[in-house]
Structure 1
Amino acid sequence: MPAYVRNLWYMAAWEHEVPDGGMLSRKLLDQAWLVHRLESGAYAMLEDRCPHRFVPLSMGRKQGDVVHCRYHGLGFGPDGACVHTPFPASPPGHVKAATMPVVARYRALWFWPGDPALADPSLIPDFAFLDSYRPMTRGHLVMQGNYELVTDNLMDLTHAEFLHVETFGVNGSLFESGAQTVQQEADGAIWNKWTMTDARAPAWAKPVLGEGARVDQKLHMRWHAPASMALLVEIGKAGTAYGVHLLPPMLNPHIITPETQGSSHYFYDHEPTEQARDMAMQVFVEEDEPMIEAAQAALGETDFWDARPAILKTDAAAIRCRRALMQLRRREAGEAEAP
């Protein structure tokens, strides 16, 4: 499997997932990590493994900013240094838990697994819309598939025509009335934009617009490495320049972080209703995940490119994302970049 790109910001959790006065343990990039909130309001991130006898620090207790191992009572500060020992000696200076930079932004916690000297918070992708006052429920689930397979799914919106017929109701409009544009921006963002003009209205809109009504619709997905995506959905009555919306414009996060090479954390949000939750679970768990899981099982340990995938024109955005990660891996490995 390809190596992880290290000098990037990954999402570890939503802030609300870290319990007050407690700790969150989560496997990220094949390692178990512990996140806890400091008395200052900032956060610390330590490897969830005591360097003494390797038991999870999350089995212990938190006292102030210090995490105490349950096995022998050693205490570790935010920088991973052993700052407390119950034994009649000074804390051993050579005993230290691994740490990573972690920053709170956009109601989420972001970690940097590479060179700490390069961990510039200004490089966190812009998800400022998550700070909106509008109430949203923020969720997390684990999908059994490699994070690049999940990215393929999200960056190729044509699968909605086949997999999300009931939930999205696009009714063939992507192919009948849609135009695709793929753009890459200076900050590395890659956009996959599907715009449907004068398209057939989805079934759910007919009671509002009447039989035979037409709509204009945008499905625009933005990607930042390694797999931080945002989806813009806008739908309005045809010919009104989106002046007559059928739904309020929607902007939602789809942020993916590897748990392991074969499983991924999926961070998302939805309207705070039971109906919205059920729809999200139907889309992610009942419709998307079985396809991603099946693709993962079919590939096994075979590299994506070694499997010689067929590439369609509509795959342009997803392939650009894969190639961007390939270039970043080469750069970190000190190799010459491919053209």
Structure 2
Amino acid sequence: MTAYVKHVWYMAAWADEIVGDALLSRTLLGKPWLIWRKADGSYAMIADRCPHRFVPLSMGTRVGDTVQCRYHGLGFDGTGACVHSPFPGDPPAHVSSPSMPIVEKHRGLWFWPGDPALADPSKIPDFSFLDEDRGMYRGVLRIEGNYELITDNLMDLTHAEFLHIETFGVNGSIFHGEQTVRHDDDGAIWNNWDMTDAEAPEWSKPMLEPGAKIDQWLYMRWHAPASMALTVGLAKAGTQRADLIVPPMVNPHIITPETATSSHYFYDHEDNEQAATMARQVFVEEDEPMIEAAQRALGDQDFWDARPAILKTDVGAIRARRALMQLRKAEESAAA
């Protein structure tokens, strides 16, 4: 498997996953990390392993802004430094735990695995729509699949015609639509579908006159490594998108590697049982089995070594993969 890109922001958790003095342990980029909220509202992120005898620090307790190991009582601050020892003398200077910059933005906690001096929070992708009080439920799934396989799934919206028939009911409209892919100056890649005078999705038909056609747009935006936002719009045909059937919907689809073959999937949906049921069906019953089946089929084989067939509609996903390849090469060259 290829190495992770380091000089990008990854999402570690939703901020509301950490309540009060709670400690959150989560495997990210192949290693266990410990995250907590400090008294001043900022966050700390250090390796979830005591450097003394290697037990998880998450088994310990909070003592103010520090974490105390349950095994021998060593205390570590948010930089990973050992700041307390119950034994005679000062804490040994060589005892420390690795740490990473972590900041809260757009209701998420974002970490930077590269050079800390280059960790600029303004480079976190724009998910400002999450800052709005939309009454949304924010969740996270663990999927047994590489994060780039999940990106492939999200950047290729044509699979909705086959995999999401009951949930999305697009009725073949995407095959009559127009696909455009564009690159923005900030590194974003957009995979957009515009369907004009198309058959209405099944779920929207009760809101329309019998036989009425619609204009629909599906826009997926990608930022490295796998931070995506999907915008869905639906309007009555021939109204230049002025007569909306429902307000445009925008949702995060943010993927962070757990390991080379598993990932954390951060998402949101309306905070009601109907939306929760649909999300479970789309993510857990429809997408997840396909992604995990693809991962099992690949095993440890590299995606490109498997010689995948590339369709014209794969252009968005392939450009995202190639953008990551270029970032890896640039970091490898800089390191060399």
Residues 228-257 of structure 1: per-residue CA shift (max 9 Å, x gap): 000000001101122221111101000000
Residues 73-128 of structure 1: per-residue CA shift (max 9 Å, x gap): 00001111100001111111110011000010000000001111111111100000
| Matches of 1:224 and 1:196, distance apart in 2 | 24
Matches within 5 A, 1:1-339: 1-176=1-176, 178-334=177-333
> Is the contact between residue 13 and residue 109 of structure 2 (CA under 8 Å) also seen in structure 1?
yes
| Matches of 1:10 and 1:267, distance apart in 2 | 11
Question: Which letter does structure 1 place at the counterpart of 2:152?
Answer: D
Alignment size in residue pairs: 335
Q: Percent identity?
A: 68
| Matches of 1:308 and 1:38, distance apart in 2 | 48
Deviation at 1:335, TM superposition (A): 7.5
Give the direction of change, closer, same or farther, for the CA distance of 1:44–1:155 in structure 2 (3 Å limit).
Answer: same
| Matches of 2:26 and 2:11, distance apart in 1 | 11
The alignment partner of 1:3 has SS state of coil
The alignment partner of 1:246 has SS state of strand
Deviation at 1:154, TM superposition (A): 0.1
Deviation at 1:208, TM superposition (A): 2.1
| Matches of 1:280 and 1:203, distance apart in 2 | 17
Residues 257-305 of structure 1: per-residue CA shift (max 9 Å, x gap): 0000000000000001000011011000100011000100111111000
Question: Which letter does structure 1 place at the counterpart of 2:132?
Answer: S
The alignment partner of 1:297 has SS state of helix
Residues 129-162 of structure 1: per-residue CA shift (max 9 Å, x gap): 0001211000001011000000000000000000
> Is the contact between residue 231 and residue 249 of structure 2 (CA under 8 Å) also seen in structure 1?
yes
Deviation at 1:206, TM superposition (A): 2.3
The alignment partner of 2:93 has SS state of coil
Unaligned ranges ≥5, structure 2: none
TM-score where L is the length of structure 1: 0.97
Deviation at 1:203, TM superposition (A): 2.1
The alignment partner of 1:6 has SS state of coil
Give the direction of change, closer, same or farther, for the CA distance of 1:335–1:315 in structure 2 (3 Å limit).
Answer: farther
Residues 5-40 of structure 1: per-residue CA shift (max 9 Å, x gap): 011100000001112112100000000000000111
> Is the contact between residue 168 and residue 203 of structure 2 (CA under 8 Å) also seen in structure 1?
no
| Matches of 1:98 and 1:202, distance apart in 2 | 50
The alignment partner of 1:334 has SS state of helix
> Is the contact between residue 255 and residue 266 of structure 2 (CA under 8 Å) also seen in structure 1?
yes
